[in-house]
Amino acid sequence: MGIIVRTGNAADMQVALPLMLERLRERSEIDRAFYGLRPDAARLFRQWIGPVMEDPRHALFVAEHDGQMIGCLAAIVERDLPIFEVDEYAVVRLLWVAPDERGRGVATKLLERAAREYAAMGVRQIRATAAAGRDVEYRVAEKAGFRPAGVTFLRELDSRKPPGNKE
């Protein structure tokens, strides 16, 4: 049997939560300054995602193989400043694929399913981020029809010294 991608449900969330937390920890290893997690991240994540997923336009998509969850994607709808033509868009907040399933197109299938579902809801864009220097994340996004649209820059600040102070 092949890979099945479907909309997730409340029962899936119990399985997906630890997997999503695993992905957040992986991201934290990539760049602690940008993706670093608080010590109580698991508790805070559970508090955040439960209410968020109650909105019908926020979604969990699940990839299964032989009845086992091998991937999941959580996306939400966000609003932008009212000056932009596209004032709301879907954002992929988390995408996880089991390490032994990576490279089989699971992430692409999840991204494509999310794009179809959000298009059917009338949402005009779906956005996803990739960690800097992670070519595999770029390739996966491009394979699913995404294109680069901007770069986020990070500058860490020392609140003990004002910018420009050389002391």
Sign of the alpha-carbon dihedral angle for 146, 150, 95, 8: negative
Q: Tell me the mean pLDDT in the region 150-167.
A: 78
More confident of the two residues 50 and 58: 58
Of 66, 21, 70, which Cα lies nearest the Cα of 44? 21
46 Cβ contact list (under 8 Å, min separation 6): 17
Domain ranges of the chain: 4-143
Fold category of 4-143 in CATH: Aminopeptidase (3.40.630)
Let me know: does 65 contact 101? Beta carbons within 8 Å: yes
Q: Tell me the mean pLDDT in the region 15-41.
A: 90
Q: Tell me the mean pLDDT in the region 70-99.
A: 94
- Is this prediction's pTM over 0.75? yes
The span from the CA of 128 to the CA of 142, in Å, is: 11
Query: What residue type is 135 in one-letter code?
Result: D
Q: Among 70-74, 134-138, 161-165, which stretch is predicted with the lowest mean pLDDT?
A: 161-165
Average model confidence (pLDDT) for the chain?
90
Sheet of 4-7: strands edge to edge? 4-7, 59-65, 68-79, 88-97, 126-127
